[in-house]
Amino acid sequence: MPSIRADDGIRLEYTEHGDPAGRPVVLLAGFKAAATSWMFQVPALERAGYRVLAVDLRGHGTSEHPASGVDMARRGRDVRDVMDRLDLQGVVLVGGSMGANTIWSYLSQEGPGRVAAVVSVDQTPQMLNSPDWPHGFYGYTEQNRDTYFAERIPETGYGTPLARRGLRLVRLLRAMKGAARELTPGELALLHDHATADWRPVIAATEVPVLFVAGADSEFWPSSHAAAAAALAARGESAVIARDGHAANIEQPRAFNAGLLGFLQRLD
């Protein structure tokens, strides 16, 4: 499996598929998920002629797992190191969950020079609910800001129960196979940093096209976050996938892939 070294020596691994001369599409998985969680997207993108890179940032999949010191800023720098080491240009960055907000971290530090477009998959840019942003994580408010994610990702009671998801659950179990459920102190610190961030100003300053995708039945936040985030961006658009949960690209891959490929084709 190919790899690069981040600027602090940590090994970051990735897989590469498709046409080496095609537009690069970089896939960034969510919290605890490996690059293999894009298993339903890679073949479709490959068939469409793209150069597809599924990246394991530090703490994910087969890359190195440092015990501590990982925050959203570091994740953004990992994306920078991948882009720089591979000299990628005209890139479409696709991020699921925390992977999406990692893209905003990257853009806040590095700017859009290498980036042609962004796709955010079921991730609100501000997880904390506030009077001007009612699209955050269910139940997460200023009153429990520093305790809500102290031990785990809370159950919200929203979304379709796992036992009733049928093939959606089968796909989810396949894509997330091997992911550890326990959270280390370092992972909890990262989760808190992720939860307390507000990436709306970065979105407002982003001039490349951005597609915000939401699962209609997300367990974590209302699907209204997609349209609200798109309204912040200069060239934003949004889509909500019916009968789809937080892992929107996994549970309903056919609908997700159709929307993703349509967005990519409008760029070319």
pLDDT tens for each residue of 227-267: 999 999 999 999 999 999 999 999 999 999 999 999 999 99
- Whether pLDDT at 163 is above 90: no
Query: What's the rounded mean pLDDT across residues 140-160?
Result: 96
pLDDT score at 67: 85
Question: Containing H/E element for 170?
Answer: helix 167-175
Q: ∠222-224-227 over CA atoms, to 5°?
A: 150
pLDDT score at 148: 97
Longest alpha-carbon distance in the chain: 51
Query: What's the rounded mean pLDDT across residues 35-60?
Result: 97
With H, G, I as helix, E, B as strand and everything else as coil, classify residue 91.
Answer: strand
**Cβ density class 25-37: b for 16+ within 10 Å, e for less:** bbbbbbbbbbbbb
pLDDT score at 80: 98
- Whether pLDDT at 12 is above 90: yes
pLDDT score at 249: 97
Residue range 92-129, pLDDT digits in tens? 999 999 999 999 999 999 999 999 999 999 999 999 99
| Pick from 132, 129, 146, 94: nearest CA to 220 | 129
Which sequence spans correspond to the domains of the chain? 3-267
| 200 CB-near residues (< 8 Å, 6+ apart) | 125, 126, 133, 229, 232
Given the candidates 3.40.50.1820, 3.30.70.920, 3.30.930.10, 1.10.3720.10, the CATH classification of the domain at 3-267 is: 3.40.50.1820
Q: DSSP states of 214-250 as a string?
A: EETT-SSS-THHHHHHHHHSTTEEEEEETT--SSHHH
> Which carries the bigger pLDDT value, residue 166 or residue 56?
56
| 135 CB-near residues (< 8 Å, 6+ apart) | 124, 126, 129, 221, 222, 224, 225, 228, 229
Least confident of 7-11, 12-16, 77-81, 159-163: 159-163
